[in-house]
A and B are shown apart, each in its own frame.
Chain A
Amino acid sequence: MVTTSSSTEESAVAERDRTTDEVAAIGLARVVKSYRSGSETVRAVGGVDLEIARGEFFSLLGPSGCGKTTTMRMIAGFEEPTEGVVRLSGRDVTGVPANHRDVNMVFQSYALFPHMSVAANVAFGLERKRVPKAEVKSRVAAMLELVELGHRARHRPAQLSGGQQQRVALARALVNEPGALLLDEPLGALDLKLRQSMQVELKRIQREVGITFVYVTHDQGEALTMSDRVAVMNNGLVEQLGTPAEIYERPATRFVADFIGTSNLLTGTVAGSDTAGRHRIDLESGATALSTALPPGVATGSTVHLTVRPEKVRMGTEPPTAADAPDGPACSLRGTVTETVYMGASTHYQVALDGGVEISVFRQNSSDSTLVAERGAPVWVWWDPRHSYALPS
């Protein structure tokens, strides 16, 4: 939104505050983006519906080429959707150019202006909006303090380290107090240590300014630790939308289970349900497992993938007792340890189940537990049925 004076800007802010509770900061309705590539049409985004609430830290997570960056660029106004509608604070902005949209972007390459000082970079947006000079000066100074770069105001971007340039890019966008801040893999170019401290820093800044953050990343750890909600994207579609815990604990599709963390996938057939609402699944290996959740539309007799996180799997050299496994031996599987990897805080085991499938098991190295089994030892593995989910095949 371009405002020509501070008074209209204030009224725009007031307008925004009035609508805060009812209207989403960003709304995408059936948004499609396709490209012509020679004679072929490539669908980068294949119909995405999203509502991002005001003040939310929202992540678009997925592998490269999944459409997450294209989705963000359509919100920013650098790309126009082939079909569908983009709304900012309830206003339809489809077709509105980027310089007339009330969102600002932090680019992966930072895209700082090399011929300008740090302060001039940060002032750029405010000057274009014709904010009075004195106000520009004080807002730029305050923003540089927020990102702890006040002492670097007169430097050129090339004189700063990668982490500092990153913070200039952030300040340059945030100083405009946009309706939403779009971040395109902003930490991708930093090394691991710096990336981790910047994650904490970003989260702190987001809490302090209270602006909606839309964060594009292919790093699941980043998305899970920072976000209020995550949309996992694949092949131009949202595979799952939820809180980090929902995404991790209850992956909705096989792709999500694979992409987020490590998952064990066991293929089987739904055999029936018991009175407690648990579903019996006959695994390919001949064993039987129990699960409390079945995906919608999956009936008895259909093939499913049973997924269980490695840290939820329990393991012993003896079959589980009634105390260990309340559901009885039907839920425990026999196997052989093929690999043990000592990780310090935990030990990772690879177990080849009878019937051929290999699964991963993580065990915390807490004070009372030692190495459960050596390589080659026969073991039993089992888990609480509440920790396993059946996914459609």
Chain B
Amino acid sequence: MRNRTTTPYVLVLPAWIWLALFFVVPIAGMLSLSLTTGDVITGFQQTFEVGNYVTAVSTYWEQILRSLFYGACATLVCIAVGYPMAYWIAFRAGPHKSTYLLLILLPFFVSFVLRTISWRFLLADNGVLLGTLKSIGLAPADLQVLNSTPAVVLGLAYNFLPFMVLPIYAVLERMDPRMVEAAHDLYAGRIQAFVRVILPVSLPGVFAGVLMTFIPTSADYVNASVLGGTHNTMIGNVIQSQYLVNNNYPIAASITFVLMGLLLVGIFGYARALGTERVMEVHT
């Protein structure tokens, strides 16, 4: 009897230890680091210097806003491209569903950085894409895509598209096809059935997809540094250079917490707006 009541706690213990060691301890360490002063040579003193946060926001608000904007744009592109993909695989791909899912996951077999670098070749001024378009006169000869905002957003959207497709697919796949038939039976045409039934029922998948793309894209620095040039730096690039180039750990840590705080506020606001019960509800 005693065993039976303690077993669940014993089983969950490794997960707790893991979380404590690799999540709680680093986060606490980072929080205390963000409230220190000093430099890497003389050492950092715990002075509870809140001014670090003021400096972080006042110096880098532009990069913070740009990151959130790029993340939002990339997420919108992912919804626009990913929803039809997920819809098509769930309802139209017939017996070949797993083939198409594999195709979506296939890019993961190549390193993230390599995939991003290969976009440099695709988007080069006279590369495969622009070169062809320019030679047949569909694009002006001086058009440049690389080192621009669209290049970064495209790169982000491309890299995180599977994280949007998969959760939407999972919801659509589980949807009872009879429910769509019921909508048609109750005089809804194709558009009405989609707008009134399929889309609202698939919202939890879209919500999960948005979380899984918006958070990592806003915090990404690889795409901005590979495809963005010097004028499109994101907050990830700032954190990276403050940590590894300037060794200004307190500022780096405070920017990290500012970003984290903004994302959390954004997510809760978003869940509120969509209606939490609707989003969190598991439809069967």
Q: What residues make up the interface of A, taking CB atoms closer than 8 Å to B?
A: 2, 76-78, 97-100, 103-105, 107-109, 111-115, 124-125, 128-129, 158, 172-173, 176
Contact residues of B: prevailing secondary structure: helix
One of B82-90, B173-181, B229-237 contacting the partner? B173-181
If A99-B189, A115-B201 are given as contacts, then 14 extra A-B residue pairs at C-beta distance below 8 Å, sorted by A number, are A76-B181, A98-B181, A98-B184, A99-B185, A99-B186, A109-B176, A111-B182, A113-B179, A113-B197, A125-B186, A158-B283, A172-B182, A172-B186, A176-B186
**Which residue of A is nearest B201, CB measured?**
A115
Q: Nearest Cβ distance between residue A109 and chain B, in whole angstroms? A: 5
Which chain B residues border A97 with CB–CB below 8 Å?
Answer: 184
Among A78, A114, A128, point to the contact of B186 (Cβ < 8 A).
A128
In the complex, whether B272 has a CB less than 8 A from a CB of chain A is no
Instruction: Name 5 interchain pairs, CB-CB below 8 A, sorted by A.
Output: A78-B185, A99-B188, A111-B179, A113-B183, A115-B283
**How far is it, in angstroms, between the C-alpha of A108 and the C-alpha of B184 when the chains are bound?**
16
| Contact (Cβ within 8 A) A129 B201 | no
Interface residues of B in 180-209 (CB under 8 A from A): 181-189, 192, 196-197, 200-201, 203
| Contact (Cβ within 8 A) A128 B187 | yes
| Contact (Cβ within 8 A) A98 B185 | yes
Per-residue interface assignment for chain B, residues 270 to 284, with 1 indicating a CB less than 8 Å from any chain A CB and 0 otherwise: 000000001001011
| Contact (Cβ within 8 A) B187 A2 | yes
**Which residue of A is nearest B204, CB measured?**
A115
A105, A108, A124 — most chain B CB neighbours (10 Å) = A124
Pairs of residues from A and B, 5 with the lowest C-beta to C-beta distance, nearest first: A125-B186, A128-B187, A111-B178, A111-B182, A98-B184
**Which residue of B is nearest A104, CB measured?**
B185
**How far is it, in angstroms, between the C-alpha of A97 and the C-alpha of B186 when the chains are bound?**
11
Which chain B residues border A111 with CB–CB below 8 Å?
Answer: 176, 178-179, 181-182
Which chain B residues border A78 with CB–CB below 8 Å?
Answer: 181, 184-185
Which chain A residues border B176 with CB–CB below 8 Å?
Answer: 109, 111
**How far is it, in angstroms, between the C-alpha of A262 and the C-alpha of B220 when the chains are bound?**
72
**How far is it, in angstroms, between the C-alpha of A2 and the C-alpha of B189 when the chains are bound?**
11
**How far is it, in angstroms, between the C-alpha of A128 and the C-alpha of B185 when the chains are bound?**
11
| Contact (Cβ within 8 A) A128 B278 | no
Which chain A residues border B203 with CB–CB below 8 Å?
Answer: 115
Q: Nearest Cβ distance between residue B112 and chain A, in whole angstroms? A: 36
Which chain A residues border B189 with CB–CB below 8 Å?
Answer: 99
**How far is it, in angstroms, between the C-alpha of A104 and the C-alpha of B281 when the chains are bound?**
29
Which chain B residues border A114 with CB–CB below 8 Å?
Answer: 201, 281, 283-284
**How far is it, in angstroms, between the C-alpha of A76 and the C-alpha of B187 when the chains are bound?**
11
Interface size class of B (residues with CB under 8 A): 20 to 34
**How far is it, in angstroms, between the C-alpha of A140 and the C-alpha of B112 when the chains are bound?**
55
B185, B189, B200 — most chain A CB neighbours (10 Å) = B185
Q: Nearest Cβ distance between residue B75 and chain A, in whole angstroms? A: 22
Q: Nearest Cβ distance between residue A115 and chain B, in whole angstroms? A: 5
Which chain A residues border B179 with CB–CB below 8 Å?
Answer: 111-113
**How far is it, in angstroms, between the C-alpha of A123 and the C-alpha of B181 when the chains are bound?**
16
**How far is it, in angstroms, between the C-alpha of A103 and the C-alpha of B206 when the chains are bound?**
34
Which chain B residues border A115 with CB–CB below 8 Å?
Answer: 200-201, 203, 278, 283
Q: Nearest Cβ distance between residue A250 and chain B, in whole angstroms? A: 36
Q: Nearest Cβ distance between residue A119 and chain B, in whole angstroms? A: 14
Q: Nearest Cβ distance between residue A186 and chain B, in whole angstroms? A: 12
A105, A173, A176 — most chain B CB neighbours (10 Å) = A105
Q: Nearest Cβ distance between residue A77 and chain B, in whole angstroms? A: 8
**How far is it, in angstroms, between the C-alpha of A77 and the C-alpha of B189 when the chains are bound?**
13
Q: Nearest Cβ distance between residue B188 and chain A, in whole angstroms? A: 5
**How far is it, in angstroms, between the C-alpha of A107 and the C-alpha of B192 when the chains are bound?**
20
**How far is it, in angstroms, between the C-alpha of A93 and the C-alpha of B195 when the chains are bound?**
26
| Contact (Cβ within 8 A) B185 A105 | yes
| Contact (Cβ within 8 A) B178 A109 | yes
| Contact (Cβ within 8 A) A128 B201 | no
Interface residues of B in 147-192 (CB under 8 A from A): 176, 178-179, 181-189, 192
Among A108, A112, A128, point to the contact of B192 (Cβ < 8 A).
A128
Among A99, A112, A113, point to the contact of B187 (Cβ < 8 A).
A99
Q: Nearest Cβ distance between residue A80 and chain B, in whole angstroms? A: 13
**How far is it, in angstroms, between the C-alpha of A114 and the C-alpha of B284 when the chains are bound?**
8
Which chain B residues border A125 with CB–CB below 8 Å?
Answer: 185-187
Q: Nearest Cβ distance between residue B190 and chain A, in whole angstroms? A: 9
Q: Nearest Cβ distance between residue B207 and chain A, in whole angstroms? A: 13
**How far is it, in angstroms, between the C-alpha of A338 and the C-alpha of B192 when the chains are bound?**
64
Q: Nearest Cβ distance between residue B74 and chain A, in whole angstroms? A: 28
A99, A109, A115, A176 — most chain B CB neighbours (10 Å) = A115
**How far is it, in angstroms, between the C-alpha of A184 and the C-alpha of B189 when the chains are bound?**
22
Which chain B residues border A158 with CB–CB below 8 Å?
Answer: 281, 283-284
If A107-B178, A128-B192 touch, does A113 touch B185 (CB 8 Å cutoff)?
no
**How far is it, in angstroms, between the C-alpha of A365 and the C-alpha of B19 when the chains are bound?**
71
Which chain B residues border A128 with CB–CB below 8 Å?
Answer: 186-188, 192
Which chain A residues border B283 with CB–CB below 8 Å?
Answer: 114-115, 158
**How far is it, in angstroms, between the C-alpha of A104 and the C-alpha of B283 when the chains are bound?**
24
| Contact (Cβ within 8 A) B181 A104 | no
**Which residue of A is nearest B278, CB measured?**
A115
Which chain B residues border A113 with CB–CB below 8 Å?
Answer: 179, 182-183, 196-197, 201
Q: Nearest Cβ distance between residue A75 and chain B, in whole angstroms? A: 11
**How far is it, in angstroms, between the C-alpha of A99 and the C-alpha of B187 when the chains are bound?**
4
Which chain B residues border A112 with CB–CB below 8 Å?
Answer: 179, 182
| Contact (Cβ within 8 A) A129 B187 | yes
Interface residues of B in 218-236 (CB under 8 A from A): none
Per-residue interface assignment for chain B, residues 128 to 159, with 1 indicating a CB less than 8 Å from any chain A CB and 0 otherwise: 00000000000000000000000000000000
| Contact (Cβ within 8 A) A104 B186 | yes
Q: Nearest Cβ distance between residue A96 and chain B, in whole angstroms? A: 12
